Amino acid sequence: MELCNRCGERGVVRDSAGAGGGFLVCTACGAEQPSANFTAQAFTAAGLPVGAFAPPDRALHRRFLADSQIAQLAAQLGLSPASSAHLKALVFAVTAGAPSSGLWFPVLVSACAVLAARSRRLPLPIAEAASAIARDPHELGAMLSRLRRFLPLPPVPQFDPFLHLRRTLDSFPAMADLDDDAASRVLRHGRFLLRCAVNWSLSAGRRPLPLVAAVAVVALELNGVAVSAEELAGFVFSCPATCRKRRTELLSALVRAARALLPWGEDVNLKNVLLHAPLLLKFMEKRSKNGAFELVRAPEEGGSEVALMADDDGEFEISGEGLKRVYQQGLEAFRAVDPCKEKEKSEKRRKMKGEMNLSLFCDSGDLDSSLDLSLEEILDLDLNLGYDPLPPSFVAGLEARRRRKEKIAMAKERIKGIVKRRESAQNSGVRGKKRQRLEFPEVDSEDCVVELLLLHGVSEEEIEEGYYNRLLDLHVFTPMDS
């Protein structure tokens, strides 16, 4: 066999089947090889010539190569036969049955794969489809926009983060070491955390994949699986730094929720929030289902009473006062234990009078029972968690506006100080006198821009918006009239 002029493999054969007979084709990559002045002759069994093969059909050959690329990408993305057939139909509908072999064709096939998957509610993100062909996700996104304008397609469902979270957790290698109960608990924790994140506007205006990775990391950590944000980021084709940031935002939101809902919330911080998260999630899930609890009294084993909460199903849950008492008892017991003798006194701590086992209340067996609902149905559910914060982007905007107000005030003080010093120097009429140096806090480039805009008469309201480049173009760097 000859060497392929494209991939270098020794797999060049002559395609003698069908209308394409006479072509030299590489069996490894499917590339057509140059074969000048070749006429394939047909002979009978006796060796008598009966004619020549028909000239090769290049259109059929391009179709063969397109089919190969479509089948290879569908297998790489794990598409089902039905989705693969839909992908092929989309590709040939766009190309009018005449696919090309240009550099844009793999991008087209990958974009059609995303459309075929989304139409069947399959969790295929653009980043994964772009990674399969080693192209930039923005290039694939541009192709998707063109396809939606070109093809008469029905409205394509938006990306469903809940389906992708389930796919991520089901295929993540660390999940294979867990039993069925633990794996199911991780999935329930993850789905409820994602619902909380959506309800708290942590996903508003942001890419969904980093948040999915962050939720998966927290759900695994809650169930004792040591995993890093970098591992999940590479698994979902996302940026590790963004995944770490989304994880910190999610944990910060849980801290604020714990401080608003738990009796001992002031003791919760970023370092210990994972210890309180199972009970917090259980409490929020019960609250979202029942809305309110009925306070009753139930005797404890030691004879004292503790407040319990009964939900609509008649199940008893410990109340805020009871949880606070149990927490205080546990905290006092922990402080009283000598670290060197912790192992010896472990049995005594478990048998202390008034101590209560919280494992029943931390078990989230019925957490987020809406596993089969679509994204639209999940978003339509009324999730009353008892904690409804402002969106992080809105809070960040308010903080940035407040910071710019402070910079404007400081810039005005600097300008007033300089003007006052010049006026006093002019009024005194004394020359050669050493000028008094004005002491101001350290300024940065933003302070200089704010001061420059103020000197050019820009209003404070416009500066507070923060669009410095636009204001500089309008008021400072305007072209002079000739």
Q: How far is CA 432 from the centre of its chain?
A: 65
Picking from 222, 243, 246, 248, the residue whose alpha carbon sits closest to that of residue 231 is 243
Picking from 219, 226, 230, the residue whose alpha carbon sits closest to that of residue 193 is 219
Picking from 411, 420, 410, 418, the residue whose alpha carbon sits closest to that of residue 451 is 411
Picking from 113, 26, 7, the residue whose alpha carbon sits closest to that of residue 64 is 26
What pLDDT, on the 0 to 100 scale, is given for residue 389? 78
Q: For residue 114, give every residue at least 6 positions away whose Cβ sits within 8 Å of its Cβ, in sequence order, or none.
A: 124, 126, 129, 140, 144
Q: How far is CA 345 from the centre of its chain?
A: 45
Phi, psi angle pair for 336, to nearest 5°: -80, -15
**Helix/strand/coil for 44:** coil
CA 253, CA 289: separation in Å to the nearest integer?
21
Picking from 191, 265, 252, 285, the residue whose alpha carbon sits closest to that of residue 389 is 252
Q: Does the fold of domain 162-380 match that of domain 61-157?
A: yes
Phi, psi angle pair for 25, to nearest 5°: -130, 140
What pLDDT, on the 0 to 100 scale, is given for residue 14? 73
> Length of the chain, please?
482
Residue listed under structure tokens 């604020």:
256
Residue listed under structure tokens 């494992």:
359
Structure tokens at 294: 């009925």
Please give the CATH superfamily to which domain 162-380 belongs: Cyclin-like (1.10.472.10)
Strand order in the sheet with 294-299: 294-299, 305-310, 316-318
Residue listed under structure tokens 């698994």:
235
Picking from 167, 275, 168, the residue whose alpha carbon sits closest to that of residue 213 is 168
**Helix/strand/coil for 316:** strand
**Helix/strand/coil for 308:** strand
Which regions in the chain score pLDDT beneath 70? Answer: 1, 15-23, 34-59, 101, 289-327, 329-384, 386, 429-441, 478-482
CA 92, CA 63: separation in Å to the nearest integer?
9
Topology (CATH) of 61-157: Cyclin A; domain 1 (1.10.472)
Directed axis angle between helix 208-222 and helix 273-290, to 10°?
110
Distances (CA, A) of 256 to 51, 270, 280: 85, 10, 11
Question: Residues 96-155: pLDDT tens digits?
Answer: 877 776 788 899 999 999 988 888 888 888 888 999 998 999 999 899 888 888 777 777
- Percent share of the chain, pLDDT over 70: 68
Q: How far is CA 450 from the centre of its chain?
A: 35
Q: For residue 394, give every residue at least 6 positions away whose Cβ sits within 8 Å of its Cβ, in sequence order, or none.
A: 201
CA 96, CA 107: separation in Å to the nearest integer?
17
Which value, to the nearest 10 degrees, does the dihedral of the CA atoms of residues 176, 179, 183, 186 take? -110
Cβ contact 285:369 at 8 Å: no
Cβ contact 407:454 at 8 Å: no
What pLDDT, on the 0 to 100 scale, is given for residue 243? 93
Residue listed under structure tokens 């619902």:
195
What pLDDT, on the 0 to 100 scale, is given for residue 51? 54
What pLDDT, on the 0 to 100 scale, is given for residue 45? 66
Cβ contact 476:452 at 8 Å: yes
Domain boundaries, given as residue ranges, for the chain: 2-56, 61-157, 162-380, 392-428+438-475
What pLDDT, on the 0 to 100 scale, is given for residue 429? 61
Q: What type of residue sits at position 136? A: D
CA 66, CA 77: separation in Å to the nearest integer?
17
Burial code of 442-464, b = ≥16 C-beta within 10 A, e = fewer?
eeeeebebbbbbbeeebeeeebb
Cβ contact 394:408 at 8 Å: no
What pLDDT, on the 0 to 100 scale, is given for residue 349? 42
Beta-bridge mates of residue 33: 24
Bridge-based pairing state of the strands 32-33 and 41-43: unpaired
